[in-house]
Structure 1
Amino acid sequence: MNDLNDHNQSNSRFNRISTPANAVLTLVFWLMAIVCLVPVLLVLSVSLSDEGSVIRHGYSIWPREFTFYAYEFLLKDIAKIAKGYGVSIFVTIAGTLLSLLFTAMLAYPLSRRDFKFRNYFSFFVFFTMLFNGGLVPFYMTYSIAGLKNSLIALILPYLIAPFNVIVMRVFFSNTIPPALIESAVIDGAGELRIFRSIIVPLSLPVMATIGLFQTFAYWNDWFLSLIFISNDNLVNLQYLMYKVMREVEYLNSGLVEASRAGELSKNLPSETVRMAMAIVGIGPIIFVYPFLQKYFIKGLTVGSVKG
């Protein structure tokens, strides 16, 4: 009984001591959240501002002259934006699912201590994080394979990331008991059955974490469209934004005659429209994290505590 009272008193002292620390940490996290939110609010404000007001007064958190003109301008080219959205959504979903499958299929055998050559293959995976062939061999490989102007060229290069393989391998090694696999083997389960029925259901935290990383990687990519896609119907949304930015920079660079620049600027997005495209581009992806937050937090702490 005395031990129980001592334990309760110790917990109460700990709570009294930790309350100020918790308040400070909460305040710090709120400040960090506000700091991260300010750039998004600034972009949103500019997209809802009048172009002349932005030129005269610069950026502000609250629109000086509120207008939806930037979004109305984008809706005039809704077909191209819709195609870009369709390509981005398909590539992101298909690429993320395939990436999770192949990453798990590579990381799982590397985590098995009874796999004879696991150290050699682990070294090969790690080696690719340090050295690569460069842009020219990268481009030639996919061009010779005939993958230019295809959606496969937007999926295949990011299919397996060495860092993700290492993270998933550590999770498998530290979380899934070897005895569980041995008992499944004794019961007559094959490797494919073990992987499908045991490994994958127990790996939701790391799957969600890697899936979130890959979702952002595929959605935010514009470089692969730049070097592999020349068909305007196959470019993704981010590359459309990139083209808009380059065209506006070209007009503002002074390389175009004043009369010609005035004529072109009527058909090209302005500063506010560029910000509106940024909002349109980040809109869907920000809704992914809340659904994966529970598993994402567990995945970040993989290997930190065991026992």
Structure 2
Amino acid sequence: MRETMGDRMVGVVIYVMLGFLLALVLYPLIFVLSASISDPAAVMKGEVWLLPKDLSFMGYEKVLGNKEILSGYGNTILYTLIGTAVNLAMTIMAAYPLSRKDFVGRHVFTAMIVFTMFFSGGLIPTYLLIKQLGMINSMWALIIPGAVSVMNIIIMRTFFQTSIPNEVQESASIDGCSNVQTLWRIVLPLSMPIIAVMILFYSVSHWNSYFNALIYLTDRDKYPLQLFLREILIKSETDQMTSSMDLSVQKHMMEAEAIKYAIVIVSNLPVLILYPFLQKYFVKGMLIGAIKG
């Protein structure tokens, strides 16, 4: 079919709007990358808009030479890997029974689980519970309280219900498979798209999380990278408010400025690398959760 003039005009408008939105999304990323490899003095003067100016890798040298930042990077990777594995296992074990039509009382259990989305004990009772369990200043204080997400349980349950025919599970049961064997041998191999979505959801959440670490961790050698980034940002803002004409103070401020942008790039690099490979699964997972409750 030949396009009419109206169709072409609509297409042009759509492309212009998409280009504008793309520029809005890409500009902050490009600016931070350019600022991280530019002269800190030029960045502080506002001379860096898009492209880097007076190349300088001082920020990356300071970041890679800081033992605390490297330790925090390793801690973040450890917390993300273990936390995502725990989240994925818990979500599957909750979503699969709720998706089975022969599970008596599944609607009651679903209602009880959904209830926790709207009501919780609050920060102080949660802290007291974590303290009584002896998890203060331990890795498990960052993993166990958020071991499962109700929204992700609903998304995965919906996938099991709509994408895996019940007849397949019934035939596996007739062949002698138990429920666990059906889950392991039939359901999970057919559920790789939603598993990829869950991995993306949980890993990004763990990677960006800092609030629980701020509350429950006291030893600096257990801090994740995000806490060190927070300290650098706060210290940089404090130095700017209390700055003077002293050369040593100005030099310290420029170093902090370089480190701030460099550590943002370093901390977000794994997520930026991971996301494009899982983007189609990400979109599919959001649609799955919107089709049926």
Q: Which has the higher contact order (CA 8 A, sep 6+)?
A: 2
Matched, 1:151 2:139: yes
The answer for the alignment partner of 1:3 in structure 2 is none
Q: 2:89 aligns with which of 101, 106, 125?
A: 101
Q: 1:51 aligns with which of 34, 40, 64?
A: 40
TM-fit CA distance, 1:66: 2.3
How do residues 290-305 of structure 1 correspond to structure 2 at under 5 angstroms? 290-302=276-288
Report if aligned partners of 2:40, 2:255 keep a CA contact under 8 Å in 1.
no
Matched, 1:125 2:113: yes
Matched, 1:188 2:182: no
The answer for the alignment partner of 2:152 in structure 1 is 164
Q: Aligned pair in 2 of structure 1 residues 27, 210: CA closer, same or farther (>3 Å)?
A: farther
TM-fit CA distance, 1:90: 1.2
Q: 2:163 aligns with which of 171, 175, 180?
A: 175
Q: Aligned pair in 2 of structure 1 residues 171, 243: CA closer, same or farther (>3 Å)?
A: same
TM-fit CA distance, 1:53: 1.6
Could you tell me the percent identity over the aligned residues? 34
Q: Aligned pair in 2 of structure 1 residues 26, 194: CA closer, same or farther (>3 Å)?
A: farther
Distance in structure 2 (CA, Å) of the matches to 1:299 and 1:156: 24
Q: Aligned pair in 2 of structure 1 residues 230, 260: CA closer, same or farther (>3 Å)?
A: farther
Report if aligned partners of 1:176, 1:202 keep a CA contact under 8 Å in 2.
yes
Matched, 1:287 2:276: no
Q: Aligned pair in 2 of structure 1 residues 104, 27: CA closer, same or farther (>3 Å)?
A: farther
Report if aligned partners of 2:236, 2:253 keep a CA contact under 8 Å in 1.
no
TM-fit CA distance, 1:287: 1.2
Distance in structure 2 (CA, Å) of the matches to 1:269 and 1:197: 55
Report if aligned partners of 2:64, 2:70 keep a CA contact under 8 Å in 1.
no
TM-fit CA distance, 1:86: 1.1
Distance in structure 2 (CA, Å) of the matches to 1:31 and 1:228: 42
The answer for the alignment partner of 1:249 in structure 2 is 237
Q: Structure 1 residues 29-38 or 100-109, which shifts more?
A: 29-38
Distance in structure 2 (CA, Å) of the matches to 1:305 and 1:168: 12
Stretches of structure 2 that go unaligned for 5 or more consecutive residues are none
Q: Structure 1 residues 25-34 or 107-116, which shifts more?
A: 25-34
Task: Look at both structures and tell me which one has the larger radius of gyration over its CA atoms.
Answer: 1
Report if aligned partners of 2:58, 2:255 keep a CA contact under 8 Å in 1.
no
Q: 1:80 aligns with which of 53, 68, 71?
A: 68
Report if aligned partners of 2:114, 2:150 keep a CA contact under 8 Å in 1.
yes
Report if aligned partners of 1:251, 1:261 keep a CA contact under 8 Å in 2.
no
Distance in structure 2 (CA, Å) of the matches to 1:69 and 1:280: 14
The answer for the alignment partner of 2:258 in structure 1 is 272
The alignment's TM-score, normalised by the length of structure 2, stands at: 0.88
Aligned positions, number: 290
Give me the CA root mean square deviation: 2.8
The answer for the alignment partner of 1:36 in structure 2 is 25
TM-fit CA distance, 1:241: 0.3
Q: 1:214 aligns with which of 202, 206, 220?
A: 202
Distance in structure 1 (CA, Å) of the matches to 2:246 and 2:104: 68
Stretches of structure 1 that go unaligned for 5 or more consecutive residues are 1-12
